[in-house]
Amino acid sequence: MANYNVTISASGSGPSFMLWQGSGGTSSGAALALLAGDTVSFKKIGTYSGSFVISGFNTGLWTSGSNLTLTTSYQSRTVKSGGTVGFVDALTATAGNKSQTRYFKVGGVEPDLTITDIEDISRENGSTNHAITIAEGTSTTEYDIRTSSYTGSVVGTRSGNGALTVSNIPSAGNSRDYYVTGRVTAANGGSNSASSILSYSVTHQSPGATTGDGGTGTYGIQVLASNGDIVLDVSDRVVVFADYVSGTLSTSETSKNVTLARAGTAVIDMEPITTPIISGVAQRHKILHTSVSGTTLTIQRTSTSSGGGSAQTAPYKFLVVFDPEA
């Protein structure tokens, strides 16, 4: 730990002059770099007898943020641990009608925050983790994965580049944002303070359901074409037409039920939107999704408008087929 001395001299009434002597930069770009535990000691000299104060202690750099009233003896302030490397603080000494400002900053090695983007992830139902890759980072930077925010709980850490399996995932059917921060430990010359880098999302897919074929047996119908290909077999279920529906969701509708001619199982959007992003805006008012239960087809959208736009109608054309089960 280093100690730096600052002496402020002022003399005369008013005073007639004031001078900052010792440590401190004269501009933010020339700020004196300090490390955690370093101290800076301040005292006054000269004949000026009025109030003599140093203000501007920011707790982003110092352990105390209160002003310091100078005396003729040194009084010290200590640099906090965990400050963000590069954070600059301006201290101003004021004596009567005179003042001077000097700059100090959190020193140390800065984390490399220029890692490659991490794509959003979709995980199969039942997963318990997700994997990401840190690329184009630096080996001395510790990359933390956090939940909730850039200051949230750390759920995974990796030094430098490479793969990282994070044993954290949202519950089935939900998404969660993860936040990546970077820091350099004191052992590597850093402040160990975390800096924000980027976020990504993980979606845990809903439970799926798989139904097999028409079963196995030794009786039933098997039809062969002339070339020997099986046209229909006892182990098959068959696709049956249910209905074709077309219409429009009104400007106020985000959901609509349509009664089908017969029960349906699977729905095919016959005119899905092919340009889902226009001018940087997801066309969510045009992106439709469906569910079918018996003869009720439910058509839904997440919004009646794109971001900031007015409500719009949404035409639809859906083909519904039926998968007969026993």
Partner 1 sequence: MGYGFQAFSANGAKQLDSDDSTHILYQKHASGTSNAVSGAASQNFKSIAVTVSGFSAVEDLIFIQPTGSATVQAYVMPGSNGFTIFSDTNVTFYWYVMKKVTSLSDPTSGYGIVLYNAAGDVTFNPDILAARIKGRITGSGAVALSGKSLYGLGTFKYFRISASLTPHRGVIQAWVHIWNAARDQVAFGIRTVSPNGVQASSESGLDDGLYIDTSNATTLILEAPDP
Q: How far apart are CA 184 and CA 110, in angstroms?
A: 7
Under the criterion CB under 8 A, does residue 321 sit at the interface with partner 1?
yes
Count residues binding partner 1 (CB under 8 A).
78
| The only residue of 208, 252, 255, 310 in contact with partner 1, by rule CB under 8 A | 208
| The only residue of 268, 311, 313, 315 in contact with partner 1, by rule CB under 8 A | 268
| The only residue of 3, 67, 125, 151 in contact with partner 1, by rule CB under 8 A | 125
Asked if residue 277 lies in contact with residue 259, where contact means CB atoms within 8 angstroms, the answer is no
Shortest approach of partner 1 to residue 273 CB, angstroms? 8
- Token reading at 69: 């009233």
Under the criterion CB under 8 A, does residue 221 sit at the interface with partner 1?
yes
Please tell me whether residue 20 adopts helix, strand or coil conformation.
strand
Q: What are the backbone dihedrals phi and psi of residue 246, each rounded to the nearest 5 degrees, phi first?
A: -140, 155
Q: How far apart are CA 82 and CA 176, in angstroms?
A: 27
| The only residue of 19, 154, 198, 312 in contact with partner 1, by rule CB under 8 A | 198
- In this structure, the strands spanning 3-11 and 39-45 are parallel
Asked if residue 297 lies in contact with residue 317, where contact means CB atoms within 8 angstroms, the answer is no
Under the criterion CB under 8 A, does residue 187 sit at the interface with partner 1?
no
Contact set for partner 1, span 154-173 (CB under 8 A): 173
Under the criterion CB under 8 A, does residue 267 sit at the interface with partner 1?
yes
| The only residue of 1, 131, 239, 311 in contact with partner 1, by rule CB under 8 A | 239
Contact set for partner 1, span 10-49 (CB under 8 A): none
| The only residue of 302, 311, 313, 315 in contact with partner 1, by rule CB under 8 A | 302
The CA–CA distances, whole Å, from 60 to 12, 55, 78, 239, 240 equal 35, 14, 12, 67, 69
